[in-house]
Amino acid sequence: MKIMNHNSLSVSRLLTSIILMLFVSACSSLSSQPDNLNITAQPTLSSKAYADQAANSQAPATTDWLIMELKASVVEKDYTQGQALLKTLAKLPLSNSQQAEWLLARAKITAATSDSETALKGLNFQEQWQLADIQWANYHQLRASLFEDIKDYFNADRDWIAYKEFQSQADTTTTDQHIWDNLNLYSTDEIVQLKTQPSETELQGWLYVATEMKTKLSDPMQAQQDLQLWFAKNISHPIVTHTPDDVQRILDLDITNPQNVAVLLPLNGKYEKPAKLIRDGFIHAMTNDTDKDPTFKMTIYDTSTQSLDDIYAQLKADSVDFIVGPLIKDNVEKLQNINNDSIPMLALNFPDDIKQGSQVCYLTLSPEQEGAQAAKHLFNNGFKYPLVLAPKDKLGQRITEAFTTEWAKLSNTPTATSGFGSRAELQKNVKDAFGLTDSQTRINQIRQITNMGMETEARSRRDIDSVYIIATRSELTLLKPFIEVAINPDAKPPKLFSNSRSNNGKARQYQDVSGIVFSDIPMLINKDDSASSEYDSLWPNSSNTEKRLHALGMDSYNLLDELPTMKVIQNYKSQGETGLLSINDQCVVQRELSWAEHASF
């Protein structure tokens, strides 16, 4: 019996000891966890898990668990729960570190549920707060992002610069690029208005270089000289260590302008007239260039009387360093093959095969470029549902395709297209384009089905807000009234646009195209254009077609100086007579046209 009693006592004591050990262990575990809790770290558990820990803890550890629950709620985008936790924590005494985390979370929730500007107003750390570096880093990073949300990029850069104080040197490369990218978002007019404080020495440097890049690129060599001087005086500035690519290209710029230019044009035969107009434009611009090198030499070669092989042999013998032309498409392709990138070229037509990265650039009065420009213009002016009305010929098809292709890059809305034929068909073509024919067909079908005489009216389409018309002045004169009649009186009429074919410079009172907006080269639209005034005084009876070819010749000369810069500086633009000029990655000169409205009589 004693033995049994002894065993019973031992088991009871053993169980009591085990329970006591488990209780002590649990208490020890619960009390030790807050000591390891870092409220500045990113949450690794769910908000529910942190809520459970908070419920099983005691003050002051509860506050830390609630803060982690709040941060997890933000990660989970549970902003309703986050807002409730903000209110709960606001009633508790918070340390500086806890208050910083509360402010960061509140700013994120406010930005997500309200707006970034309101979030910014409530996100202000006190300078005297003793905080962990990661908290100051998160503070400046969040403020910078919020400033970017409201497009205040300059103040964003102020916080990015402050953020760098808490980064390693290796990590600042990305931040420096971010600072530069923000400044690049400002236009020339905007960036010159930005001001720094005397103590903001780093921001002053970024702003100086950005302003130079915005305001001095019309003279890239002067910009290079200014930047090289500034870089030499400010070798410790971050932009010197992490120089943006576009700035580095200016610093490395080694532009050599052509000194011995050959102009290849067919001065006899079928293309004699346009060739001579281009030639005269080239000479006009060259004569006006008072800054050209005194040693500059230009020679004209007639491609209609000499073979390209013979001409090219002469070019090599004459040490020509740049070719303008040829004009005829086949000749462009032939000369490209003969030249094989030996001498840089500005061809005045497009070959079938445009080779990227070659020494050849291309400039022409392309109708397709004008069609693509129209798509951009309509899109940028808020139109969503365009109709392209074009002649039923190859030119009309090419321009329509250029418009629709460009529109598809810009918008998800469809482009409606319709063609017109002879003048006798114009009214029917317009009715078809605006859906009147289909509407009348449906009315007739209903009448046949119901066998009832009903008062009806064909309804025009309501899904068109703009019409781009590819037409001559006389065609546009006929199309405009047909379009006006086709639109139901209770419908908002679409805005009418046309291409340069409608601007023939010979307006007559019976040709009413008033109110229609059209595109054309600046030389024909800008009344203050000095080249246009000079041209009119020299050739007073010229047509607009002749003026456009003359302008093409002028731009082919002016591009001799501009092309080297365009190839080096991305998005560099130069105002020309045929448009605002730039190049794409195939060195095709892009012409941004001017727009005007046909006047009423």
Residues 401, 282 share a domain: no
CATH code, domain with 208? 1.25.40.650
Lowest mean pLDDT among 103-112, 220-229, 409-418, 426-435: 426-435
Residues 290, 236 share a domain: no
Q: Which of 126, 150, 174 is the last residue of a domain?
A: 150
The strand order across the sheet containing 517-520 reads: 416-420, 386-391, 466-469, 495-498, 517-520, 594-597
> Judging by DSSP bridges, how do beta strands 574-575 and 580-583 pair with one another?
antiparallel
Residues 157, 120 share a domain: no
Q: Which of 236, 254, 272 is the last residue of a domain?
A: 254
3-state secondary structure of 298: strand
* Overall domain count for the chain: 4
Q: Would you say residue 539 lies in a domain?
A: no
Q: Would you say residue 84 lies in a domain?
A: yes
Say if CB 358 and CB 341 are below 8 A apart. Answer: yes
Average pLDDT value for residue range 498-520: 84
Residues 163, 124 share a domain: no
Residues 239, 213 share a domain: yes
CATH code, domain with 271? 3.40.50.2300
Say if CB 486 and CB 496 are below 8 A apart. Answer: no
Q: What is the pLDDT of residues 249-285, one digit of tens each?
A: 899 988 788 999 999 999 999 999 999 999 999 999 9
Q: Would you say residue 18 lies in a domain?
A: no
Q: Would you say residue 99 lies in a domain?
A: yes
Please state the pTM of the whole predicted model.
0.71
Q: What is the pLDDT of residues 118-152, one digit of tens each?
A: 999 999 999 999 999 999 999 999 999 999 999 99
Residues 438, 319 share a domain: no
Residues 140, 157 share a domain: no
Q: Would you say residue 555 lies in a domain?
A: yes
CA distance 8 to 374: 99
Residues 444, 301 share a domain: no
Q: Would you say residue 212 lies in a domain?
A: yes
Q: What is the pLDDT of residues 161-174, one digit of tens each?
A: 999 999 999 999 99
Say if CB 433 and CB 418 are below 8 A apart. Answer: yes
Average pLDDT value for residue range 23-28: 40
Structure tokens at 453: 């005489």
Average pLDDT value for residue range 372-385: 96
Residues 480, 385 share a domain: yes
Domain residue limits at 56: 36-150
Residues 455, 487 share a domain: yes
Residues 222, 317 share a domain: no
Q: Would you say residue 330 lies in a domain?
A: yes
Q: Which of 116, 135, 150 is the last residue of a domain?
A: 150
pLDDT at position 429 is 66
Q: Would you say residue 168 lies in a domain?
A: yes
CATH code, domain with 59? 1.25.40.10
Residues 504, 377 share a domain: yes
pLDDT at position 319 is 96
Structure tokens at 497: 């646009």
